[in-house]
Amino acid sequence: MSQYTTGSFTTEDFLKELVNQTWFEENLKKTCNPLYIYHEDDKGPGDAVWLYSANRKTYVQIKLQVKVEPMEDMEDYKSGDNVMCMIGHEIFLISFDNIKEIGYN
């Protein structure tokens, strides 16, 4: 037998209960992440740079303004730090100063 009583639990009650659940809030935070790109102030969007690929253990040419996915929380870093980031399916070491937040998904 169901744990919910029929007839007295409306859709509005269900949605209120759903929003109050902590798992809902945690999952919502997981889906709303900031978006980052690789950026250098003195170069244009068509330019490319050489970044160190941890996968290939060599430098790889990457176009500017490519989407960057930091592997850890950006709040843990400061100016001058190198951040491990995913670009596509590769891990790169990128200077914190060259990662620009462009908004949220």
b/e for 32-57, b at 16 or more Cβ within 10 A? eeeebebbeeeeeeeeebebebeeee
Q: What is the mean pLDDT of residues 27-33?
A: 71
Is-above-0.85 flag for pTM?
no
Per CATH, which fold does 34-104 belong to? SH3 type barrels. (2.30.30)
User: How large is the average pLDDT for residues 8-31?
Assistant: 71
Lowest mean per-residue pLDDT among 7-11, 81-85, 90-94 = 7-11
**In angstroms, rounded to a whole number, what is the distance separating the alpha carbons of residues 29 and 16?**
18
- Which tens digits make up the pLDDT trace of 41-82? 888 777 899 999 999 999 999 988 899 999 888 888 888 888
Query: What was the pLDDT predicted at 3?
Result: 58
Tokens 């919502």 belong to residue? 28
Give the chain's mean pLDDT.
82
What are the structural domain ranges in the chain? 34-104
Please answer whether residues 100 and 39 qualify as being in contact, where contact means their C-beta atoms are separated by less than 8 angstroms. yes
Mean pLDDT of 26-47: 79
Phi-psi region of 64 (alpha: psi -120 to 50; beta: other; left: phi over 0): beta
